[in-house]
Amino acid sequence: MSLAFSWDLLTGLLSFLLTLMVLSYLIGDNPAFRVAIYLFIGVSAGYAAAIAWNQVLKPRLFMPLLQGGWTDFLLLVPLMLGLLMFTKLSPRAARLGSPSLALIVGVGAAVAIGGAVLGTLFPQTLAVVNQFDLPPASEGWSKWLGVLGEALLMLVGTVSTLVYFHFSTKATPGGPQRGKLIQAIAWVGQIFVAVTFGVLFAGVFTAAMTALIERMDFLVTFLSQLLGFG
């Protein structure tokens, strides 16, 4: 399929150039890379502002105020709070925006902490305990041992990792040192932490590799279509 002069060709060509400009970072920082970055940031910000106006402010605030009933006048409160946020631009009037910021931070923190406690802390703790809910032996010793080993591994990993971040020491003639038992457990935890970092790096590398493949595939496809090889 060859690309005719169309909107797709234009957007494809623009995407091709921007991709090459970003890849030019291989030879170091250069104006082409900077232009691509600045353009990406600007377009993203503009697009986000357009989305906020079209999908939030206009349909959720101004339209109800202009066309809504008496009950919608309560929206003046968020409107005022929103306007007070602009006072943060001026150092002299920045205090006027503090209530709005306090409301945002306070509500956000309350929601996040409540969700973290009830949605992460308790369930994850319970999950570690439930790992020792071993299957009956009738299902086979291998499964039973496998579940038990997995539960022990998880328990050791959890405890040793937590101990690794336990930095309390006691005074000794040679300086502050952790206890030998704590040191041994922390050494095990250090291994788990290292493995975790390795896994994170592998995940990041995999994601980056996939992104590179997608871009290379785009370039190959665009060129092949542009040149008529596709």
Q: For binding to another protein (CB under 8 A), which residues are involved?
A: 26-28, 44, 47-48, 51-52, 54-56, 59-60, 107-108, 111-112, 115-116, 118-120, 123-124, 126-127, 130, 196, 199-200, 202-207, 209-217, 220
Residues 13 and 3 sit within 8 Å (Cβ to Cβ)? no
In angstroms, the CA 43 to CA 140 distance is 60
Looking at beta carbons only, is 24 or 87 nearer to another protein? 24
In angstroms, the CA 20 to CA 35 distance is 12
Looking at beta carbons only, is 178 or 226 nearer to another protein? 226
Smallest distance, another protein to C-beta of residue 180, A:
28
Smallest distance, another protein to C-beta of residue 138, A:
22
Smallest distance, another protein to C-beta of residue 176, A:
29
Kindly report the backbone phi and psi dihedral angles of residue 30, in degrees, each rounded to the nearest multiple of 5, phi listed first.
Answer: -145, 165
Residues 85 and 100 sit within 8 Å (Cβ to Cβ)? yes
In angstroms, the CA 106 to CA 196 distance is 33
- The CA-based angle 60-63-68, given to 5 degrees, is 100
Looking at beta carbons only, is 123 or 176 nearer to another protein? 123
Looking at beta carbons only, is 110 or 184 nearer to another protein? 110
Looking at beta carbons only, is 52 or 184 nearer to another protein? 52
In angstroms, the CA 213 to CA 217 distance is 6
Smallest distance, another protein to C-beta of residue 44, A:
7
Smallest distance, another protein to C-beta of residue 23, A:
8
Smallest distance, another protein to C-beta of residue 136, A:
20
In angstroms, the CA 157 to CA 133 distance is 18
β-pair partners for 170: 177
Looking at beta carbons only, is 68 or 176 nearer to another protein? 68
| Radius of gyration of the chain, Cα coordinates, nearest whole angstrom | 29
Angle between helices 180-227 and 141-164 (to 10 degrees): 100
